[in-house]
Amino acid sequence: MRIKIINPNTTQSFTDALQKLADTVSRPDTEIFAVNPASGPASIESFYDEALSVPGVLEEIIKGDREENIDAYVLACFGDPGLYAARELTDKPVLGIAEAAFHMAVMSGAYFTIVTTAPRVRFMTEHLVNRYGFSEQCKNIRTTPMKVLDLATSPETAIAKVIAECLLAIKEDHAEAIVLGCAGMSQYREYIEQQIGIPVIDGTVAAVKLCEAMVDMKLGTSKVLTFSWPRPEMAPQGRQLNIA
């Protein structure tokens, strides 16, 4: 199967890291295509960045559906930007990485904590937790004073801060799993897990595996109402429903 990972920002090195990461966890018969829009914000750290990135994300969905024979999509930014709009544009599965990480976390431990970047994303993150129904299982959202790009420029310092928050999460929040709240942390997941001794969930990995599961189940996006095609003429002939 063919899974397209859309990095909503324009930083090619992040896209490459996502491709590499996904290749290590995907099944032998899965092809991963990590892409990013040609223009837009270099990283997504505000609602404004998110808003500007969405049109580029949606173009990648349309292209994937019409030209690239894609079976499932992953939106690789922790704010799940444009998730519902993307679902309108295809009958294939579309998963955000925040959503995917939360689902996986609660299947592993009783409670989880999100460890993420700068404090301003707390409100955005809390929205996602509430919207998806995880407000009782998510015990805390811990932020650090770093920016997304710090993960690229000084990863050691950044990851040390993340690990410190993870250890506080275990002690103070009674967290039993950690969700990494930024796609830029993905490549350090295994290292962090080794340091703290409880499961650490990366959303991109989670989303790829959930996409594989959904494609195997022939389960796509329900087109009956909320996510039906935005214009009738956008619906591919004979593909209104997601039933094989």
Which position among 3, 52, 98, 128 is part of the footprint of a copy of itself (CB under 8 A)?
52
The pair of three-digit structure tokens given for residue 199, joined into one six-digit string: 């499961």
| The CA-based dihedral angle spanning residues 120, 124, 127, 132, taken in that order and rounded to the nearest 10 degrees | -130
Indicate the residue among 71 and 88 with the shorter CB distance to a copy of itself.
Answer: 88
SS3 154: coil
Q: What does the alpha-carbon distance between residue 59 and residue 57 come to, in Å, rounded to a whole number?
A: 5
Can you give the C-alpha Rg of the chain in angstroms? 17
Q: Tell me, residue by residue from 138 to 167, as one string, x for binding to a copy of itself by CB under 8 A and - for no binding.
A: ------------------------------
Indicate the residue among 51 and 160 with the shorter CB distance to a copy of itself.
Answer: 51
8 A C-beta contact, residue 140 and residue 231: no
Examine residue 54 and tell whether it contacts a copy of itself (CB under 8 A): yes
Which position among 8, 82, 181, 203 is part of the footprint of a copy of itself (CB under 8 A)?
82
Q: How far is the CB of 123 from a copy of itself (least distance, A)?
A: 4
SS3 209: helix
Which residues in 204-233 contact a copy of itself (CB under 8 A)? Answer: 205-206, 209-210, 212-214, 216-217, 219-222, 224-228, 230
Q: How far is the CB of 187 from a copy of itself (least distance, A)?
A: 15
Examine residue 201 and tell whether it contacts a copy of itself (CB under 8 A): yes
Q: Say how many residues touch a copy of itself, by CB under 8 A.
A: 77
Task: Using the rule CB under 8 A, give the single segment among 3-11, 39-47, 63-71, 151-159 that binds a copy of itself.
Answer: 39-47
Examine residue 42 and tell whether it contacts a copy of itself (CB under 8 A): no
Q: Where are the alpha helices (DSSP H) in 67-96?
A: 83-88
Which position among 33, 46, 140, 164 is part of the footprint of a copy of itself (CB under 8 A)?
46
| The CA-based dihedral angle spanning residues 238, 239, 241, 244, taken in that order and rounded to the nearest 10 degrees | 90
Q: What does the alpha-carbon distance between residue 114 and residue 58 come to, in Å, rounded to a whole number?
A: 27
Task: Using the rule CB under 8 A, give the single segment among 6-14, 120-128, 148-156, 157-165 that binds a copy of itself.
Answer: 120-128
Q: Which residues contact 34 (CB under 8 A, 6 or more apart)?
A: 4, 5, 7, 15, 16, 18, 19, 22, 76
